[in-house]
Amino acid sequence: MKAAVVRQDSILVEDVPKPRAGPGEVVVEVRYCGICGSDVHRLAAGGFPDGAILGHEPCGVVAEVGEGVTEWRGGERVVVIAFDPCRQCRWCRRGEYQLCLNKHWIGLGTNPGAFAEYVKARSTMLLRLPDQVGDRAAALTEPLAVALHAVRTARINLGDTAVVIGAGPIGLLVTQCLRVAGARAIGVIEIAPGRAELAARLGADKVFAPGSDDLAAEVVQSLGAEPDVVFECAGAVQTLQDAAELVRPHGKIMLVGVSMKPVPIIPIVWGRKEAELKACIAYRDEFPLALELLAKDEVDVESLVSEVISLEDIGQAIKDLQKPHDQIKVLVEPGE
């Protein structure tokens, strides 16, 4: 089969053996798999082993089931959860699967991912797609689960005022999940005009450009109050401190954007607010909820898809995403 394989800091399409389903495993024919920001940044940093097949946001159709797998049949439409928790460590026993000490991942360098015609997963990593959820929307289940986990972790109250910094895929999904969670006034801070426009279309009450000295005052004027919670979804150097400048006293700052770089904070600003900082990663058990919201059309994910590309174009697409760009979500369609 064809697969996109990591070779140094690039990705090349090669012919590799098609995976076979072993006991307890399923092989899925990949329909779509999103390119994640983490693929783009880790590849540039040389963070993947030579020969790795990336792609951890797949949906597709069951192609082969291994020995002992009774719950899946060929032809069923599925989404694949990117990791399988061990279900035995102290965090799994508390249901905190995102903190599992022994996760089995696909597409992050250890086990092959879904930038390929077929991907192999454990049968426990699959979820059935409702008929109402199309294939393209299904490929956004994983980032939607990330956004849902962030909003759940923030414990939004009915009527809260919220600000989201950064309108990339996660910021745009957090914005929509905030509305579902009962936030009243939602502001988004975004520098790129295309993303700012999309944020407004997807439910932000007001979109602000970053950088102005009076941003905190503008936010209060437009939203009616200092935000109860600010979501940092940009992963930029300045944005965590920006969040502290905006949040209300005793407000909460959610650290959602993942970055490897140290960021400066000015402790006195945090002190004066007695601000609370809460970080989150991946998802706990939000996949079924994500599918339910998609099936009921409560969240628009298809508007986030800015381009669909073939396997052959991944290498160039990732190089383009490493520079400033106005893409939102790029999907790979291996069957194209």
User: Phi and psi of 216, rounded to 5°?
Assistant: -60, -40
Nearer to Zn ion, 108 or 230 (CB): 108
Given the complex with Zn ion, which of 216 and 308 has the nearer CB atom?
308
Quick one: which segment of 85-93, 234-242, 250-258, 319-327 binds Zn ion (CB under 5 A)? 85-93
Interacting stretch for Zn ion, rule CB under 5 A, among 60-68, 79-87, 249-257, 303-311? 79-87
Our finding on whether 36 is near Zn ion (CB under 5 A) is: yes
In whole angstroms, how close is the CB of 207 to Zn ion at the nearest point? 24
Q: How far is the CB of 126 from Zn ion (least distance, A)?
A: 17
Q: Is 258 in the site for Zn ion (CB under 5 A)?
A: no
89 vs 200, beta carbon nearer Zn ion: 89
- Give the E-state strand segments of 113-242 in sequence order: 118-122, 126-128, 161-165, 185-189, 206-208, 229-232
Q: Quick one: which segment of 88-96, 173-181, 233-241, 306-314 binds Zn ion (CB under 5 A)? A: 88-96
Query: Per the structure block, which two tokens stand in for 6?
Result: 């990591």
CB of 224 to Zn ion, least distance (A): 34
Q: Is 321 left (phi over 0), alpha (psi -120 to 50) or beta?
A: alpha
Q: Evaluate whether 273 touches 243 at the Cβ level (below 8 Å).
A: no
Q: Which amino acid is residue 275, in one-letter code? A: A
Between 35 and 199, CB nearer to Zn ion: 35
Q: Whole-number minimum distance, CB 102 to Zn ion, in Å?
A: 5
Residue 147 near Zn ion by CB under 5 A: no
Sign for the CA dihedral angle at 48, 291, 151, 90 comes to negative
Q: Residue 290 CB, nearest distance to Zn ion (Å)? A: 13
Q: Using CB under 5 A, pick the residue from 100, 198, 234, 290 that binds Zn ion.
A: 100
DSSP-assigned states of every residue in 6-22: EETTEEEEEE-PPP---
Q: How far apart are CA 254 and CA 152, in angstroms?
A: 11
What's the closest the beta carbon of residue 39 comes to Zn ion, in angstroms?
7
Indicate which single residue of 1, 61, 86, 127 sits in contact with Zn ion (rule: CB under 5 A).
86
According to the binding rule CB under 5 A, does residue 173 interact with Zn ion? no
Q: Which of 16, 304, 82 is nearest to 7 (CA)?
A: 16
Tell me: does residue 55 bind Zn ion (CB under 5 A).
no
147, two tokens = 């956004």
Question: Which residue type, as a one-letter code, is found at position 134?
Answer: G
- Fill in the amino acid letter for 335: G
Does 85 help bind Zn ion (rule: CB under 5 A)? yes
Q: Is 330 helix (H, G, I), strand (E, B) or coil?
A: strand
Residue of the chain from 1, 16, 61, 89 that contacts Zn ion (CB under 5 A) = 89
- Is 59 a binder of Zn ion (CB under 5 A)? no
Nearer to Zn ion, 99 or 200 (CB): 99
Give whole-number Cα distances, 154 to 150, 151, 177, 181, 217, in Å: 6, 5, 11, 10, 24
Q: How many residues of this chain bind Zn ion (CB under 5 A)?
A: 6
Please, are residues 141 and 128 in contact by the beta-carbon 8 Å criterion? Answer: no
CB 244 within 8 A of CB 177: no
Token pair listed for 209: 């450009």
Nearer to Zn ion, 53 or 92 (CB): 92
**Residue 234: CB minimum distance to Zn ion, A:** 16
Q: Minimum CB separation from Zn ion for residue 37, in Å?
A: 7
- What is the greatest pairwise CA distance in the chain? 63
Binding interface with Zn ion (CB under 5 A): 36, 85-86, 89, 92, 100
